[in-house]
Chain A
Amino acid sequence: MKYQTKAERKSDREFVVSRIISGPSHLVFEAWTKPELFKRWWVPESAPMTLVSCELDVRSGGKYRLVMSFGSENMEFFGKYLEVTPGSRLVWTNDEGGEENAAVTTVTFEEIKGNTLVTVHDLYPSKEALDAAIADGSTSGMPAQLEELDQLIVNKAKL
């Protein structure tokens, strides 16, 4: 069975996405922490980009670096893991946008009767940083997402 994805701004500085994944938390955790598995889902097939490389040193203080390609352009996403609790919790920084914008992402895995509630919580350093992330995403900074929105609109219009 497929569960619903929820996404909401919880406060001035917090954004939360969650969904129940069918399967035990240790497997879901594994899929988030082994690069060869992570690669298979982090960039959805329909997205206008590919994941070129992915290094995840999943331990407290370890670093990660993702390189994504959009046509001819590459972008890097990097940061470090602040907390790693197998099967239940991952915390990392998002450092590519500079210190004043660096959100901290906390992912929790809660097992409920064999399934796992995954919650992705982004905490921004200030209201302005989250507002800016949304504004960038909504307007000129993130045309790829506009493209995605366009696609979404086209798909919805077909229904």
Chain B
Amino acid sequence: MQPIQVNVIIKDFEETYLFLCNSSQPIILDHMVKYSEDRLDKAFAVLSDSTRRGVLMQLGRGDTSITKLADQFHMSLAGMKKHVGILEEAGFVRTEKIGRVRTCKLGPHQLDSETAWIERYKELWNKRFDALEAVVQDLKQKREDK
């Protein structure tokens, strides 16, 4: 009665995910350390956008400038700056201005695969327990009625 496996593929997400898990960047978390909820919420919000996931994948292949990223994602410079700003604030990306060019590289924040698994597994059990609670309330009610 372990959690579940199937063969549905969410390519985009899986790639990002594998990249985050296998990245050579320092993976900061020891698995006994717990992410603070805030941090996790923030990380999830940041990664919920497909452009930002794409940028991370791109940076996984090598450093690049905001201008090049904007071109690549068919986006205005201002629009790309905004995405990079969000990624930078969450620690996924670092930027550095060299001359007139702002170069982007991967930052220190990596979503640890085990932490992410734990979070998902916890979410599954949380839903399960909610449903269990409802069944128990129902039983309680029926017994009291008798």
Q: Do A and B bind each other?
A: yes
The chain A residues found within 8 Å of chain B, CB to CB, are 2, 5-9, 15, 17, 19, 21-24, 27-28, 30-32, 37, 40-42, 44-49, 64, 66, 68, 70-71, 73, 75, 77, 79, 92, 94, 96-97, 103, 105, 118, 120, 122, 133-150, 152-154, 156-157, 159
Q: A139-B113, A148-B124 are in contact. Are A22 and B4 (CB under 8 A)?
A: no
Residues of B within 8 A of A142 (CB): 3-6
The secondary structure that dominates the B interface is helix
Complex Cα–Cα for A138 and B120 (A): 9
Residues of B within 8 A of A135 (CB): 113
* Contact call A136/B5, Cβ cutoff below 8 A: yes
Query: Do the beta carbons of A146 and B114 come within 8 Å of each other?
Result: no
For chain B, the count of residues having a C-beta within 8 Å of the partner chain is 50
Residue from B2, B128, B139 having most chain A Cβ neighbours under 10 A: B2
A23-B136 contact given A96-B2, A152-B44, A157-B44, CB 8 Å threshold: yes
Q: Which 6 residue pairs across A and B have the least CB separation, nearest first?
A: A41-B131, A44-B127, A7-B122, A157-B48, A23-B136, A70-B6
**A44 interface neighbour in B47, B48, B131, B143, Cβ under 8 Å:** B131
Contact sample, A vs B, 27 pairs, CB 8 Å cutoff: A17-B122, A22-B136, A22-B137, A24-B140, A27-B143, A40-B131, A48-B6, A70-B4, A70-B6, A70-B8, A75-B6, A92-B1, A94-B2, A122-B2, A134-B114, A137-B3, A137-B121, A139-B14, A140-B18, A143-B5, A145-B117, A146-B10, A146-B17, A149-B17, A149-B120, A150-B10, A159-B45
Q: Which of A21, A75, A140 contacts B129 (CB 8 A)?
A: A21
A143 and B120 within 8 A (CB): no
Across the two chains, which residue of chain B brings its CB closest to A68? B4
Give every chain B residue within 8 A of A143 (Cβ-Cβ). Answer: 5-10, 14
Which residues 26-71 in B have Cβ within 8 Å of A in the complex?
31-32, 34, 41, 44-45, 47-48
**Which of B5, B21, B47 gathers most chain A CB within 10 Å?**
B5
C-alpha gap A66/B4 in the complex (Å):
12
Interface SS, A side: mixed
The answer for the CA separation of A65 and B137 in the assembled complex, in Å, is 26
A27 to B7: give the CA distance in the assembly, Å: 36
Interchain nearest-CB distance for A105 vs B (Å): 7
CA distance A42 to B140 in the complex (A): 19
A137 cross-chain contacts in B, Cβ below 8 A: 3, 117, 120-121
Let me know if B131 and A148 touch, CB within 8 A: no
Residues of A within 8 A of B41 (CB): 156, 159
* A residues in contact with B7, CB < 8 Å: 73, 143
